[in-house]
Amino acid sequence: MKTKILTLLLVGVFATSCVQIKNGEENFDHAFAHTVYFWFKNPDSHAERTKFEASLQKFLDNSKYAKTNFMGTPPKAVRDVVDDSFTYSLIVTFESAEAQEAYQEEEAHLIFIEECKDLWEKVIVYDSEGVRP
């Protein structure tokens, strides 16, 4: 009987977390997306990757303006049109272009840049305003 209760409890927790993930997707703000690609000087350095990920996560956790975010690494490209030359990508959404401008000057963002700027050799940013209502 205890095993059945535990199993039901675990299924309930899993189902709830799936609903929360789905609800999180619904919170994606289509107003403004800020996409950043980073190319590291030493892309194979585990220590530098660990430092970058920790600093970036600290920044995102403390940003007053970033609504949703995604941090990723490139999968192995299987098509010629896919660029997998970058080390990390970051996609952050904002409620407006003005919020994205404010984010550029917030302390959490400036600390992240200071902590990690020596790791990358190239950064490219693509900003987009949404066309969905």
Sign of CA dihedral 53, 58, 64, 67: positive
Give 67 or 11, the one with higher predicted confidence: 67
Is residue 3 over pLDDT 70? no
The reported pLDDT for the residue numbered 18 is: 32
| pLDDT tens digit sequence for 80-117 | 898 999 999 999 999 988 999 999 999 999 999 999 99
Nearest to 72 by CA among 49, 94, 93: 49
Nearest to residue 37, comparing CAs of 106, 89, 101, 83? Answer: 89
Per-residue pLDDT tens digits for 29-86: 678 999 999 999 999 999 999 999 999 999 999 999 888 889 999 998 889 898 999 9
CB 37 within 8 A of CB 121: no
What is residue 106's predicted lDDT score, i.e. its pLDDT?
95
Q: What is the pTM of this model?
A: 0.75
- Distance CA(34)–CA(109), nearest Å, equals 13
Choice between 132 and 122, residue whose per-residue pLDDT is larger: 122
User: What is the pLDDT, as a whole number, of residue 125?
Assistant: 95
